[in-house]
């Protein structure tokens, strides 16, 4: 039996409405994993800016007297050549003004010839300019330098410098007279691998700063991975440098401060030695769960990152995946490099 045209139109309209309702319900369900954030805590200030000029940044490097140039090679045949240098800000002479230390590294070709590259320490002159005091400080050529960390490891009131390096890190003790002394051997914190990031933190609350070091890949100058030789050394059929995928990770280190100028490697005992061999780039201490104990976050390149919860007994529990900080929202590893912490 044929239905009137008006009835068929009404039925079509009804089906369309139900389809739209179903679609909205699906969308609503799909967004159920993103709840509305809670309101700010009581007493929190809300600042709204109106008609304020946008701050303008001016490059004052030359005017400030900073002439440091990080050496690099445009070919970048090896992953070691593609790493940039680090910068440390510290008031090394305790005059109330931040000074600047730049790490320096040679190229692979230079290193094979035994050539070194200089870092640079610039003293703040309090007038917007800086003076190069590297040679006086005695920290010109510590190593094949990557980055570093600043901390008063011996509690003498003077900030010391730890430089992360390819092939062995360096700890400089601040002598308090504008000079530094290499105390790496005595302290026992060389590590010896390809270290990238480092951070000081007192994880056991004994009043002495401990040291966490993130390491990158297992790389050797006497066994260089040939350029473009396998699938992990190619991109879109083009030959590129090998790594980090295809190379082995080298593990991380936690050095416990013994309070006498020496450190003990407690990485495995504490559970932060990176048994998976991920590609560590940078590390930071922060009390993420407000327990009063500093936790550790390690940003890894092309592999899951680590979040280590401080259990308070000298050990840590890795909870990167559980906390949502190991991979991105799609469950994929990221090329994590640096870290910034803020509330």
Mean of per-residue pLDDT scores for the chain: 90
pLDDT tier for residue 24 given thresholds of 50, 70 and 90? low
Provide mean pLDDT across the span 142-165: 97
pLDDT tier for residue 25 given thresholds of 50, 70 and 90? low
Residue 328 has pLDDT above 60, yes or no: yes
What gap in Å lies between CA 87 and CA 163, rounded to an integer?
A: 10
Q: What is the pLDDT of residue 53?
A: 86
Residue 232 has pLDDT above 80, yes or no: yes
Q: In the chain, what's the furthest Cα-to-Cα distance?
A: 104
Contact 247, 207 (CB under 8 A): no
Provide mean pLDDT across the span 11-28: 54
Contact 164, 213 (CB under 8 A): yes
Instruction: Express each pLDDT in 9-19 by its tens digit.
Output: 555 555 555 65
Q: What is the pLDDT of residue 3?
A: 54
3-state secondary structure of 293: coil
Higher pLDDT, residue 317 or 342 = 317
3-class SS string, 314-326: CCEEECHHHHCCC
Instruction: Express each pLDDT in 244-259 by its tens digit.
Output: 988 999 999 999 999 9
Residue 197 has pLDDT above 90, yes or no: yes
Q: Is the dihedral of CA 90, 93, 98, 103 positive or negative?
A: negative
Residue 35 has pLDDT above 70, yes or no: no
3-class SS string, 67-121: CCCCCCCCCCCCHHHHCCCCEEEECCCCCCCCEEEECCCCCHHHHHCCCCCCCEE
Instruction: Express each pLDDT in 91-113 by its tens digit.
Output: 999 999 999 999 999 999 999 99
Residue 30 has pLDDT above 50, yes or no: no
Cα angle: 111, vertex 116, 122; to 5 degrees: 145
* CB-count burial class (<10 Å; 0-12, 13-18, 19+) for 202: middle
Residue 69 has pLDDT above 60, yes or no: yes
Q: What is the pLDDT of residue 4?
A: 55
Residue 118 has pLDDT above 60, yes or no: yes
Q: What is the pLDDT of residue 27?
A: 45
Residue 297 has pLDDT above 70, yes or no: yes
- pTM attached to this predicted model: 0.84
- Our measurement of the distance from residue 94's CA atom to the centroid of its chain's CA atoms, rounded to an integer in Å, reads 26
3-state secondary structure of 244: coil
Provide mean pLDDT across the span 207-229: 94
Q: What is the pLDDT of residue 6?
A: 54
Residue 212 has pLDDT above 50, yes or no: yes
pLDDT tier for residue 31 given thresholds of 50, 70 and 90? very low
Structure tokens at 322: 């559980």
């Amino acid at each position: 039996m044929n239905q009137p045209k008006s009835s068929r139109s009404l039925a079509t309209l009804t089906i369309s409405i139900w389809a739209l309702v179903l679609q909205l319900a699906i969308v609503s369900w799909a967004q159920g994993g993103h709840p509305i954030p809670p309101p700010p805590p009581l007493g929190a200030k809300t600042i709204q800016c109106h008609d304020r000029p946008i701050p303008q940044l001016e490059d004052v490097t030359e005017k400030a007297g900073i002439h440091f140039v990080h050496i690099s090679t445009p070919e970048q045949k090896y992953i070691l050549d593609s790493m940039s240098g680090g910068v440390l800000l510290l008031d090394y002479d305790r005059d109330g003004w931040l000074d600047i230390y730049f790490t320096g590294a040679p190229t692979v070709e230079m290193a094979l010839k035994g050539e070194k590259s200089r870092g640079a320490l610039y003293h703040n002159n309090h007038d917007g300019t800086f003076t190069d005091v590297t040679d006086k400080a005695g920290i010109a050529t510590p190593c094949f330098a990557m980055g570093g960390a600043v901390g008063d490891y011996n509690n003498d009131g003077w900030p010391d410098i730890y430089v992360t390096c390819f092939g062995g890190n360096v700890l400089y003790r601040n002598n308090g007279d504008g000079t530094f002394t290499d105390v790496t051997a005595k302290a026992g914190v060389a590590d010896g691998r390809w270290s990238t990031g480092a951070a000081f933190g007192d994880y056991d609350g004994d009043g002495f700063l401990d040291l966490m070091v993130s390491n990158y890949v297992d790389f050797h100058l006497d066994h260089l991975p040939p350029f473009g030789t396998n699938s992990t050394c190619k991109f879109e059929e083009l030959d590129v440098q090998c790594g980090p995928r295809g190379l082995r990770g080298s593990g991380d280190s936690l050095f416990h401060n013994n309070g006498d100028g020496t450190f003990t490697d407690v990485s495995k005992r504490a559970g932060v030695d990176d048994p998976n061999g991920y590609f560590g780039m940078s590390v930071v201490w922060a009390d993420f769960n407000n327990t009063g104990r500093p936790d550790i976050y390690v940003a890894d390149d092309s592999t899951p990152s680590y979040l280590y919860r401080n259990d308070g007994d000298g050990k840590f529990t890795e909870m990167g995946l559980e906390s949502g900080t190991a991979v991105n929202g799609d469950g994929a590893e990221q090329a994590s490099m640096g870290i910034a912490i803020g509330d």
